[in-house]
Structure 1
Amino acid sequence: MPQWLEQWNRKLAKWLWGVVLIGLIGSLPLIYARVQTEASSKNVEFVMDYRDLLQVSYTQVDPQGYLQSRLAMLKEAGVNAMAVFESTLEEYNWSGDVTVYNAQQAALLDGQLPKPGDNRTFLLFNKPENEPVLRPLIENAFKRIGVTVETWSSHDRTGLILGLGPDDAYMRPMQPNPIAMKMLKDQGFLIVPRLSDRTQPYDDEEMGKWIDSFKELGVTRIIFDGDAVTGFNDQEEEQSLNKFADRLNAAGIGIGAIENLKIPQKGLGTLASKLDYNVVRVHSVSEGEMNVAKPVVLADRFLLAVKDRNLRMVYLNAMAVKDSSKGQVTNPIDTIVKTLAGDEEEDVKGAIEQIRDFGFKVGEAQAFDVHHAPAEKLWKALAILGAVTLVALTIGLFIPALLLPVTIIGLVGGAGTFVLDSSLLNQALALFAAIAAPTASMALLIRWLRVKHERRDALPKSAWGRLGGAVVLFLRTSVMSLFAVPFVIALLNHVSYQLVLQQFRGVSLLHLAPIALVALYAVLYGYGGSVKTNLRNLLKQPITVLWVVVIAVVGAAGMYYLSRTGNSGQATGLELKFRSFLEGTFGVRPRFKEFMGGHPIFLLGLFLALRYRWALVFIVVATIGQLSMVDTFAHIHTPAYLSAMRDLLGLAIGAIIGLVGIGVWQIAEGIWRRCRPGASARG
């Protein structure tokens, strides 16, 4: 590269770092607005599945007595809401409101022989006081789908004959049971209807009646059942969703979004936008998990869901199961009670007490009150400018001649991102900035170390000098790696990210790209000589057995590293206990790969790199800790202040472990010097 171009690029780089600083400052109002938004919702709603309670009660000798006793027990433990599904004949059978018969059973009931080929459904109402409510509800539901409905009676009880097979009739959805909802409301529970999209076509007039009844009961939120929101599968999809959204908006009713579903519910994001994001995230514990989990594990799980992932509804399931080991039918109701209220005998602190310790309270879940920064577009523009500049500077570290053209191209792209305000473009720029910051910080460190090694007199001579230099470099580099954080927050500042209706894509690339780029920079620029010479030497290296072994080891380590990233990563039992200790001691746990991996290796590597060139390999490996700090903030559903605490705690603990590692190295090096052959002769 010509000398004049090199000088020009150096001057340009200094100015561009100033632009990055301006972008960082411009991001601060957007960060503050996000923190305000996250602090606006502190109520946690514990929702019990009422259908599950009916199913469990149906296994008992006195179903109604058992149901009422368990409702009182759950209420006292802290459950403050009940989820009521669209009713079915099976559910009415569990509750004792009706008894359902097939044609053969109905004939025998009347002392007659069944008619051949008759597969209709017969039902009798068991509670005369409830019949005036349930009869028109059932008749209307089946007539709307073209099923014939006739009156029937037997043994002084009135009923209905449905022109549908019993198996089919059992499953047909109807309006949520108004009698059950009123009973639960009178007992002090909040009502959370669960609606599906199984009734086709969407009937806006009928849905209006349902929602009016919900409003009278004080319903403020519904959760969807099945794979789609109500109205999604109608042939006139957009129109039906609009109508349904209008109904909810008029009634002031929001929705719940269940996290970690294998397949997201169709239409949820579209409906959420039409409701102006009147959405609350829901954490659900499946029936299978609830039957085997211990109260202490569930309590910890609920705390993390509320505190770490902005979930404001905890959905509780229960299922009666035949336990062959005990020789009886069991259910997890007692486990739920112990989880929420605690158990003094087993020294279990209840989930409700734990979440209260963190400033939350049991109450009606509320959507976030979205805050916006004054002059938000201005701050967003500065953040985009800073992010683009950071990415350009990083590219310029690798290919200095491209700094100016890349900056110009980036500014044009940044302008397009600002004008279009596209979610995809914002995510792309946030990802590039997230990769750029740790890459640039480590690359600048490698360049600084190279210069110091070329001037041997510039390196600290004593161990204490190297220790002081290592600590300063550790802090300086970590701060620079965190430059990406304000840009990620500012670019992904829409509430849909906090509700996980949109997700930050490309996180897997963030886990790998900085490591690969820093390794490349170390090879090309870390050991003296020109880039061409270093690259030529690398390509001329013979492939030996040692190289194959090294590649295999690095590959295995990379696979393990990737397996530990994301929510699906598995932790060892010892690690889980250590996590629990950190959570209980500090209220937040740092990321294991930071405080036990990246940061200690980084500090030890810096200490060694101030003396040995080969120690650059530690710097490359330590990139894991630097990118992990940025990745912590890529989990937008985690409160920003909690992510900050997690990073700071990881740095502190990692530094302590790194200092211990330096001490061990010094002791081991001293012993080696005294014990190696010829040491006494030279002494």
Structure 2
Amino acid sequence: MPEWLNKWNTRLARWLWWVVLVGIVASLPVMYARVQTESSANQVAIAMDYRDLLQVGASQTNPQAFVQEQLKRLKDAGVNSMIVFEGTLEELAWAGEVAVYNASQAALLEQRVADPGDNRTYVLFTNPEHEKQLRPVIDWAFRNHGADVTDWSFKGRSGVILGLGYDDAMIRPMQPNPAAMQELKEQGFLIIPRLSDRFDPLDTVELDKWLRSFQELGVKQIVFDGEAVTGFEEGPQGVAAFAQLLNKHNIGIGIFENLKVPQKGIDRLANLLDYNAVRAHPVGDAEIMTIRKEQLADRLVLAVKDRNIRILYLNAMTVRDVSKGQVVHPLDTIVYVLQGEGDTRGVTAELADFGFTPGAPQAFQPHHAPYELLLRGLTALGAIALIALAFGLFVPSLLAPAFVLGAIGGAGLYVLNSTLMIQMLALLAAIAAPTASVVLLIKRLRELREGAGDQPISASKRLGGAVILFIRTTVLSLAAIPLVVALLNHISYSLVLQQFRGVSLLHAAPIGLVALYVFLYGSGNTVVGNARRILAMPLTVLWIVALGVLGAAGMYYMTRTGNAGSVSGLELKFRALLENTFGVRPRTKEAFLGHPLFLAGIFLALRYRWAMVLLIAGTIAQLSMVDTFAHIHTPLVLSIIRVLLGLGIGALIGLGIIAVWQIGEGVRNRWVRRQV
């Protein structure tokens, strides 16, 4: 590179760092607005599946008495909400509201011979007090499903005959049981209806009646049953019509996390509701029977505290326990986990310690910084400058074109697809900061070693220099955090309707780029020359084994990235220990791997060239700090605490490693002198 171009690029790089700083300063008010948003709704619904409760009750001697007893126990333990599904004849039978017979059973009941051509379903109302509420519900539902509905009675009990087979009729959906919802409200429970998209066609007039009755019961949210939101099968106009009804009655929605596939139409519906939505965490029927009580308690608390969950959705089921020789259910486990016992604190008490109160969950109220659009524009410019600077460390002659093309391309992409542009910019900035910080560290270490010449740097100077360089590098890596947070500051990210894209790339690219710089740049040779030298090296068995180990470690590392990473039982216990000790769990790969290796690596690299390998491994912690803030559904303050804890613990462990190394090195040197 010509000397004049080198000087010009150096001067430009200084100016671009100022642009990055302006972007960081501009992002701070946006970050504060996000903190205000996240603190705007702290009420949590601990909800029980009412249908499951009825199903468990159906296995008891006196189902109605059992259900009432369990409702009181659950309420005392902290359950403040009931999830009420769309009704079915099966559920009404469990609740003791109706008796349902097939044609043969009805014939026996009436002491007559069954008609071979009769496959209808016969329904008797067993609770006269609720018949006036339930009869029109059943009548409308089955007529909507295309079945004939005719009156029927037996020994003074009124009923209906449905023109559907027994098995089919038992599961056809209808309006959630209005009598049950009214009773639950009178007992002090919040009602969260769970609707489906199983009615064809969508009857907006009838839905309006449902939602009006929900509003009168104080319903604030509904959740969805099945693969899609109500109205999805009708197309965009169906979702829009349903959203209009929800807005009319001031009812929001709950969005389930951890589904294999998000419910269809949920993102569009949330947008049409102006994000009047909260996140819900379900604990399924099967897992609640097998999960340990302590693990369930930790899971529920972390869901609210760490992931902005505002509806905890508990399920129950009956299971035949062959070893006990009886039918068992998890209601005792749920009461224990929520209420605690003896010295064991329950979930409700722990949530209260973190400032969460039981009640009707409310959607976050988005806060915005003054002139936020301008501030985010400056943030985007700072991110582009940071990306260009990282690129310029590898190809210095293209620093200016990289920045100019980045700015022009970013503006063009924003016009075409603003969401894609912002997500791409956030990802590249997240990669650029830890990459640039470690590469600049490596350059500085090489300069210090060359400056020292043949005279090794003393241990005390290396320790002081290592601490300073560790802090400087960490601060530079953290520069991406306010940029990423400000770029992705939208409620749709907090609700995980949109997500930070490219997590796997973020975990791999900085490590790969740093390794590339260590092996191909410097050493008094060109990049091409270094590459040729490495490729010309003989391939020994030791190298093959080393590459195999490195590949296996890389595969394991990549399986641990993202939300779907696998975790062993032992690590779960260790995580719980950290959570209980600090209140906020630092990330293991930062506190116990990356930061210690990085600090010790800087100390050793000031004397030994081979120690650069430790810096490559330690890059894990630098990128992980940025990745922590890419989890937008985690409260910002909690992420800050998590990163600071990781830095503190990691630095202490790193200093311990340095101390052990120095002691070992001193022992070895004394042994060598004695041999001589």
Q: TM-score range by the shorter chain?
A: over 0.9
- Indicate the residue corresponding to 2:358 in structure 1: 362
Give the letter aligned to residue 57 of structure 1. Answer: G
In the alignment, structure 1 residue 462 sits paired with structure 2 residue 458 = yes
After TM superposition, give the deviation of residue 393 of structure 1 in Å.
Answer: 0.5
- SS of equivalent residue, structure 1 residue 431: helix
- Indicate the residue corresponding to 2:266 in structure 1: 268
Q: Do the aligned partners of 1:232 and 1:267 also contact (CA within 8 Å) in 2?
A: yes
In the alignment, structure 1 residue 450 sits paired with structure 2 residue 483 = no
- SS of equivalent residue, structure 1 residue 193: strand
The 1:519–1:251 alpha-carbon spacing in structure 2 relative to 1, beyond 3 Å, is: same
- Indicate the residue corresponding to 1:680 in structure 2: 674
- Indicate the residue corresponding to 1:106 in structure 2: 106
- SS of equivalent residue, structure 1 residue 648: helix
- Indicate the residue corresponding to 2:115 in structure 1: 115
Q: Do the aligned partners of 2:493 and 2:633 also contact (CA within 8 Å) in 1?
A: yes
- Indicate the residue corresponding to 1:644 in structure 2: 640
1:331 to 308, 324, 329: 329
Which one is further off, 535-544 or 48-57? 535-544
Q: Do the aligned partners of 1:108 and 1:114 also contact (CA within 8 Å) in 2?
A: yes
- SS of equivalent residue, structure 1 residue 233: helix
* Per-residue deviation, residues 276-301 of structure 1 (Å, max 9, x unmatched): 00000001100111112233221111
- Indicate the residue corresponding to 1:239 in structure 2: 237
In the alignment, structure 1 residue 633 sits paired with structure 2 residue 629 = yes
Give 1:478-489 correspondences, 5 Å limit: 478-489=474-485
After TM superposition, give the deviation of residue 551 of structure 1 in Å.
Answer: 1.1
- Indicate the residue corresponding to 1:311 in structure 2: 309
- Indicate the residue corresponding to 2:653 in structure 1: 657
**How far apart are the structure 1 equivalents of 2:490 and 2:37?**
11
- Indicate the percent of aligned positions where both proteins have the same amino acid: 59
Which one is further off, 205-214 or 150-159? 150-159
**How far apart are the structure 2 equivalents of 1:261 and 1:574?**
25
- Indicate the residue corresponding to 1:507 in structure 2: 503
In structure 1, stretches of 5+ residues that fail to align are none
- Indicate the residue corresponding to 2:428 in structure 1: 432
- SS of equivalent residue, structure 2 residue 288: helix
- Indicate the residue corresponding to 1:538 in structure 2: 534
After TM superposition, give the deviation of residue 419 of structure 1 in Å.
Answer: 4.9
**How far apart are the structure 2 equivalents of 1:479 and 1:420?**
34
The 1:217–1:406 alpha-carbon spacing in structure 2 relative to 1, beyond 3 Å, is: same
After TM superposition, give the deviation of residue 417 of structure 1 in Å.
Answer: 5.0
Give the letter aligned to residue 546 of structure 1. Answer: L
Which one is further off, 529-538 or 466-475? 529-538
In the alignment, structure 1 residue 557 sits paired with structure 2 residue 553 = yes
Which one is further off, 250-259 or 130-139? 130-139
Q: Do the aligned partners of 1:78 and 1:341 also contact (CA within 8 Å) in 2?
A: yes
**How far apart are the structure 2 equivalents of 1:117 and 1:418?**
67
**How far apart are the structure 1 equivalents of 2:93 and 2:241?**
33
Q: Do the aligned partners of 1:452 and 1:459 also contact (CA within 8 Å) in 2?
A: no
Which one is further off, 433-442 or 517-526? 517-526
After TM superposition, give the deviation of residue 667 of structure 1 in Å.
Answer: 1.3
- Indicate the residue corresponding to 1:621 in structure 2: 617
After TM superposition, give the deviation of residue 155 of structure 1 in Å.
Answer: 2.6
Q: Do the aligned partners of 1:385 and 1:414 also contact (CA within 8 Å) in 2?
A: no
Q: Do the aligned partners of 2:457 and 2:606 also contact (CA within 8 Å) in 1?
A: no
Q: Do the aligned partners of 1:121 and 1:169 also contact (CA within 8 Å) in 2?
A: yes
Which one is further off, 100-109 or 141-150? 141-150
* Per-residue deviation, residues 508-528 of structure 1 (Å, max 9, x unmatched): 100100000000011122433
**How far apart are the structure 1 equivalents of 2:169 and 2:124?**
14
In the alignment, structure 1 residue 608 sits paired with structure 2 residue 601 = no
Q: Do the aligned partners of 1:438 and 1:627 also contact (CA within 8 Å) in 2?
A: yes
- SS of equivalent residue, structure 2 residue 116: coil
- Indicate the residue corresponding to 1:33 in structure 2: 33
- Indicate the residue corresponding to 1:392 in structure 2: 388
- SS of equivalent residue, structure 1 residue 130: helix
Give 1:95-174 correspondences, 5 Å limit: 95-174=95-174
Could you say what the CA RMSD is over the residues aligned between the two structures, in angstroms? Answer: 1.4
Q: Do the aligned partners of 1:296 and 1:349 also contact (CA within 8 Å) in 2?
A: no
- SS of equivalent residue, structure 1 residue 129: helix
Q: Do the aligned partners of 2:414 and 2:421 also contact (CA within 8 Å) in 1?
A: no
**How far apart are the structure 2 equivalents of 1:267 and 1:176?**
22
**How far apart are the structure 1 equivalents of 2:615 and 2:475?**
16
Q: Do the aligned partners of 2:503 and 2:561 also contact (CA within 8 Å) in 1?
A: no
Which one is further off, 122-131 or 496-505? 122-131
**How far apart are the structure 1 equivalents of 2:472 and 2:450?**
22
After TM superposition, give the deviation of residue 473 of structure 1 in Å.
Answer: 0.7
In the alignment, structure 1 residue 202 sits paired with structure 2 residue 196 = no
* Per-residue deviation, residues 311-361 of structure 1 (Å, max 9, x unmatched): 0110111111111111111111111111111111xx321001101111111
**How far apart are the structure 2 equivalents of 1:353 and 1:681?**
65
After TM superposition, give the deviation of residue 421 of structure 1 in Å.
Answer: 6.5
- SS of equivalent residue, structure 1 residue 322: strand
After TM superposition, give the deviation of residue 674 of structure 1 in Å.
Answer: 2.4
* Per-residue deviation, residues 550-595 of structure 1 (Å, max 9, x unmatched): 1101100001111222223333444333322221222101111111
Q: What is the total number of aligned residue pairs between the two structures?
A: 676
* Per-residue deviation, residues 4-24 of structure 1 (Å, max 9, x unmatched): 111111111111111111111
- SS of equivalent residue, structure 1 residue 185: helix
**How far apart are the structure 2 equivalents of 1:441 and 1:224?**
46
